[in-house]
A and B are shown apart, each in its own frame.
Chain A
Amino acid sequence: MSIPYWLYLSALLLQLAALVFFVAYATRPLRIFSFTGTLLLGASSALQLVFVGALAWRDQAVPLGNAFEALAFWGLLLSLAATTLETRFKMGILGAFLVPPTAFILLMGVRFYNTVPLTEAPYGGAFLFFHVGLPMAAYAMFTAAAGLASAFLVQNKQLKSGHPSGLMYELPSLGELERLLTAWLAWGFAALSLGLLSGALRGMMPSDGMVRPAPDAKVIFGVGLWAYYAAVLWLRQAGWRGPRLAKLALWGFAVFILGFYTVNIYLGGHAR
């Protein structure tokens, strides 16, 4: 069954259109901009849901068989996260921080459409969900956390200046942004931990013809990422908060996106 690619492209276009409206709202806070942006974002999420759902229906599994599917899945989770946050706060401005990374992930997907599958089966079922699906969810949460961290830093700058502009009124409070940022980092970390743990457990089981990764680049990347976010959460517990936490989340995202691109796309994932 062929899944219409135009669904994916339309979702991407809607995402970019939403971004235009959110940025317009950031410069001129008219309700019509935020309303239209949220509407477009919701429509994009719905199209992505249909697209990824159709892939899953075709494969009878979580659609994570190649780089394109993984990015589409990641983009969907992120888009849903952005829609949820935007609908929850009705601020119109969070979208300006959350939609760019989503659009970026979807654009990355366009680059890898129709490429050779990175994983040659026989991943499937529960293992696929735990070992690939959960890390993808973690990546989506780290990406959303990066968007929230940018919003935090902008709001912090506004409030620190003593002469805040209109943007201050549109963004959630620092307390709320920090609470969300911490929560998304923690949930992302939990999902990544489960993903890595499932891979480690599978590796200890008798061979059944599946890829048995040695400590290859992907394993090192995964463990490194896990260690970084573990350290961030530990520092948060130790009292690192506010701008420091936001900067750590942003650095983490920058290093992670670079590492993801290099390890998964150019080095081709696990060593065979």
Chain B
Amino acid sequence: LAFILLGISHKNAPLELREALALDEARAARAYAQLRADGLREAVLLSTCNRVEAYAVVDDVDAGEKVLRRALESLAPEKAAALRRSLSGLEDDEAVWHLLKVSSSLDSMVLGEAQILGQVKQAYQTSVDHGMAGPYLHGLFQRALAAAKEVRSKTELGRFPASVPSVAVHLAERVFGELSGRRGLIIGAGEMAELTAEHLKAGGISQLTFCNRSLSKAKEVAKRFGAQALPLDELESALGQADVAVFSTSASGLVLEADAAQRVSAARKGKPLLLLDIAVPRDVAPEARQAEGIYLYDVDSLSEIADEHRERRQKASHEAASILRGHFEGIRDWESSSQVAPAIAALTAKVEAMRRAELEKQSKHFSHLGAEDVKRIDYLTQAIIKKILNTPLSRLKEDQKQGQAATSLEALRRLFDLEEPD
């Protein structure tokens, strides 16, 4: 048996191709049905915005790869030619290492992004739901997920957000701690404002207000977020109520002058207010920073922090790789032991059954013995069997560690007439 993967990722396929292959529930069901019909017993299909990959356990690598290729091509027949050029595959150790890297976000476009762990978990669960996760993939994915969790908890890979909107949320958390119950004010109604609003909402900000020169536009965006809308001339009073304000207008001049910021600060009695000015040209006078309780970040300082975070993630990725190497070795040990474990279990069960049968047969001769003596005979026979099996089983495990268990296994099965594993 071999473990293979075939797929495309952000490294070798453009977005259009990844979109064409992306799996929703219905398409995944069709793909799994086809894989099963083509004779595959174990497979997991992973679809994220960075990649679409199929992992499978196959008897024959070439034949298995053909099955996967056919299934993936059937998802986007119109892109079959482009897909053939982009599809790339890996097998056994390389495929295992790749899965570890993918699960831990070391292979993601944004290093350390948090979503991938949930996506891998979901992909595995979908495979389970379709009856396509057998013992190997079950063991492998559990181990890969455990490795990814360790990477997240023990390294700083996912600690530092790397996009400007997520840095905004991160800063809000550094100022306020918990964001639930905090109020957000979005000034402007552009794409970036909406994106930041989405992040703030996901970060826990419960009340959002959109403020725009055009009230109708503000209302339109606010409706999508279940938020309030205000005209721009109510900005100062709105700032008095907010905790985080995102400025993202296309105004050519300043929207918040320094003296207005001072008035807002005085009205708030120094209560903290985080101003995130992501507009170019800037909406907030840089001097606003001097007002008590006001924390001002413009697009340059936000980008600077995002860059620093990316650097920190890069550094953390080395630490993460070293954790993954430990898990990789663990997986190899597990793979080898899973080869010999069934044979060992079968042999010990068989010998134990023989011992019990013989004891049973002889039991009529033990009638004159006391319970303590019978117990001793039982113990004695167990001990003899353990001693006899100890050396061959230890040798088998040694062979397994050196990757040479196949011959010993074959001999063991033949000598003791053990059944072939299913």
Contacts and interface: CB of A to CB of B under 8 A. Distances in A.
A239 B297 contact: no
A127 interface: no
A6 B161 CA distance: 49
A240 interface: yes
Given A162-B297, A163-B304, A241-B269, A173 B175 contact: yes
Nearest to B154: A31
Contacts of A160: 289, 295
A164 B270 CA distance: 20
Nearest to B268: A239
Contact of A174 (B174, B269, B298): B174
A206 interface: no
A132 to B, nearest CB: 36
Interface in B348-385: none
Nearest to A177: B177
A72 to B, nearest CB: 35
Contacts of B304: 163
B271 interface: yes
A241 B271 contact: yes
Contacts of A174: 174-177, 272
Interface in A124-172: 155, 159-160, 162-164, 168-169, 172
Size range of the chain B interface in the assembly: 20 to 34
A149 to B, nearest CB: 15
A23 to B, nearest CB: 21
B203 interface: no
B277 to A, nearest CB: 10
A209 interface: no
Interface in B253-299: 269-272, 289, 292-293, 295-298
Contacts of B296: 162
B171 interface: yes
Contact of A175 (B177, B269, B270, B295): B177
A176 interface: yes
B177 A176 contact: yes
A243 interface: yes
A173 B176 contact: yes
A160 B288 CA distance: 11
A163 B171 CA distance: 11
A93 to B, nearest CB: 13
A53 interface: no
A173 B174 CA distance: 4
A173 B173 contact: yes
B236 interface: no
A244 interface: yes
B301 interface: yes
A243 B178 CA distance: 19
B240 to A, nearest CB: 13
A162 B289 contact: yes
Nearest to B174: A173
Given A174-B175, A175-B176, A175-B178, A159 B269 contact: no
Contacts of A241: 269-271
B272 A168 contact: no
Contacts of A179: 177
Nearest to B274: A159
Contacts of A213: none
Nearest to B305: A164
Nearest to A31: B154
A212 B204 CA distance: 58
Nearest to B309: A169
Nearest to A175: B177
Contacts of A244: 270
B49 to A, nearest CB: 28
B160 interface: yes
Interface in A172-187: 172-176, 179
Interface in B301-326: 301, 304-305
B301 A159 contact: no
A55 B171 CA distance: 48
Contacts of A155: 174
Contacts of A163: 301, 304
A155 B295 CA distance: 12
A159 B177 CA distance: 13
Nearest to B294: A160
A242 interface: yes
B289 A168 contact: no
A52 to B, nearest CB: 34
A11 B178 CA distance: 36
A159 B270 contact: no
A176 B179 CA distance: 12
A244 B269 CA distance: 10
B174 A159 contact: yes
A173 B179 CA distance: 11
A174 B174 CA distance: 6
Contact of B292 (A173, A175, A243): A243
Interface in B126-162: 159-160
Interface in B374-408: none
A244 B270 CA distance: 9
Contacts of B295: 159-160, 162
B337 to A, nearest CB: 33
B301 A162 contact: yes
Interface in A209-265: 239-244
B174 A239 contact: no
A8 B223 CA distance: 65
Contact of B270 (A168, A169, A240): A240
B271 A168 contact: no
12 contacts: A160-B295, A162-B296, A162-B298, A163-B301, A164-B305, A169-B159, A174-B272, A175-B177, A176-B177, A239-B269, A240-B269, A242-B270
Interface of B: 159-160, 171, 173-178, 269-272, 289, 292-293, 295-298, 301, 304-305
10 interchain residue pairs of minimum CB distance = A175-B177, A239-B269, A173-B177, A176-B177, A175-B176, A162-B301, A159-B295, A173-B174, A174-B175, A242-B270
Given A169-B174, A173-B175, A174-B175, 12 more contacts: A159-B171, A159-B174, A162-B295, A162-B298, A164-B305, A173-B177, A174-B176, A175-B176, A239-B269, A239-B270, A241-B271, A242-B293
